[in-house]
Amino acid sequence: MKKLVLGMALLSATSLSAAPAQKYIVKLKTGVSPKSVSFFNQKSVSDVKDLNVSIGSFYTVKATGLNQKSLELLAQDPAIEYIEPSRTYTISPIKMNKEEILDAKYSDQWGLKNTGRNSGGWFSRGKAGEDINAEAAWKITQGSKEVKIAVIDTGVDYTHKDLRGNMWVNELEANGIEGVDDDGNGYVDDVHGYDFANDDGDPQDGHSHGTHCAGNIGAIHDRNGVRGVMNNVKMVAIKFLSDSGSGETEHAIKSIDYAVKVGVDIMSNSWGGGEFSQALLDSIKAANDAGILFVAAAGNSRANNDSRDTYPANYEVENVISVGAHDGSGKRSSFSNYGKKTVHIFAPGSNIMSTVPNDRYSKMSGTSMACPLAAGALGLLKAEYPNLTPAEVRERLEATAVRNGSLDDVSTSGRLDAERLLNNTRS
């Protein structure tokens, strides 16, 4: 009996030392050479990789045996600004309809024009007019090819007939040589964006979530399929979530850094998870400094974001706009997160019809859908008023929200109305 106990103790000691290496993000102090960082040369540390981002000297490493205390000690190292565990982020649709159809109609899109008949569900009746008032907004503007929006997600099917005309094209790569970084931006063959999940120049969507988000922003206003909030826009496909819908901190950082390099106006972020990340916060701040809006899904756990942080939606930077979801009756979607201090506005998010890969269409529900609808409306605003700062845009979005008596639990107590946003109608 004693022998058995001893054997088990040995076993657990062995398995402890063979614990899998964890990935960490390390920011070095300015001017520090990675070769001089003693931590990088420790036996328990491997796979030191330079992230090559413009916001500072960021590395990923794999290390074993680190705990909270040793991380705090490492932060005292004069070479290291901070070190934190890599986080995992996931897409946040609450429901993906398995049924994909070959054709969809504008009249299916209650979020753009709610007739009351196109917005009901099994348990709820729709209410006419509880939409983003898209048609009134389109009389003012349908967008502009000057406006670039990054869809930071699972990729985009940039060949979709309803999207391809509104995809960003990196002309030097499109007319360049395969395998060569023709525009010298550090990324090979990034014709429509980049795939950070697989580190290649093809951000094709192997999931469908990212393509759905893109359709909400910029599906073409033709006779076929659906319409985006913007008829004219350039969407940059930035894939950092894998085909199973999850991604890591380093790729989120690289995605944001890339979008800043491309010079987008808005980033649409229908993903979340993980704990606080200083590295992600620093990336979002850099985007803010560049005048870029960071629109984020508030999350789908029916939670109050004021009492439980949801990232990236909860980062307190002026350019972050956190979007919850409302349904076709003008009430908060049952799954949607909320928060008087932390969530800014509601937008349509239940049973939203949009594009999915291979020229198909499908309905999805989530703050994931509300986020790109808001990003599209902000894109219309940018088309009309290119010089508004992120802080000005957020103030205007908040001031022009529609209060309908049942959306009380966000900072604006209301929902998005694109026409009011454009006309700066305040109540």
- Binding interface with Ca ion (CB under 5 A): 162, 173, 176, 180-183, 185, 187, 189-190, 195, 198, 200, 202, 219-220, 222, 225
Q: What does the block give as tokens for 17?
A: 């030392």
Q: How far apart are the first and last CA of the chain?
A: 78
Q: How far is the CB of 201 from Ca ion (least distance, A)?
A: 7
Nearer Cβ to Ca ion (220/393): 220
Cα distances (angstroms) measured from residue 360 to each of 109, 162, 230, 231, 300? 15, 9, 19, 19, 25
Nearer Cβ to Ca ion (205/282): 205
Cα distances (angstroms) measured from residue 386 to each of 54, 147, 217, 232, 292? 25, 8, 18, 15, 11
Nearer Cβ to Ca ion (131/189): 189
Q: How far is the CB of 99 from Ca ion (least distance, A)?
A: 19
Nearer Cβ to Ca ion (87/207): 207
Active-site entry in 153, 182, 190, 195: 153
Instruction: Specify whether 207 is catalytic.
Output: no
Q: 377 with 137: CB under 8 angstroms?
A: yes
Residue 99 phi/psi, 5-degree rounding, is -75, 120
**Residue sitting closest to Ca ion (CB):** 195
| Secondary element (H or E) of residue 2 | helix 2-17
Q: How far is the CB of 56 from Ca ion (least distance, A)?
A: 22
Cβ within 8 Å of residue 377, ≥6 positions away: 132, 137, 229, 347, 416, 418, 421
Active-site entry in 192, 207, 209, 344: 209
Cα distances (angstroms) measured from residue 124 to each of 115, 182, 348, 350, 364? 14, 53, 15, 11, 17
Q: How far is the CB of 53 from Ca ion (least distance, A)?
A: 16
Cβ within 8 Å of residue 251, ≥6 positions away: 196, 197, 240
∠ CA 79-82-85, rounded to 5°:
130
CA dist 57 and 41 (Å) reads: 17
Active-site entry in 270, 368, 411, 413: 368
Q: How far is the CB of 421 from Ca ion (least distance, A)?
A: 23
Nearer Cβ to Ca ion (333/354): 354
CA dist 196 and 208 (Å) reads: 17
Tell me, rounded to whole angstroms, the distance of Cα 329 from its chain centroid: 26
Instruction: Specify whether 368 is catalytic.
Output: yes
Instruction: Specify whether 153 is catalytic.
Output: yes
Of 273, 225, 229, 231, whose CA–CA distance to 248 is shortest?
Answer: 273
Nearer Cβ to Ca ion (171/289): 171
Q: How far is the CB of 208 from Ca ion (least distance, A)?
A: 15
* Residues with active-site annotation: 153, 209, 368
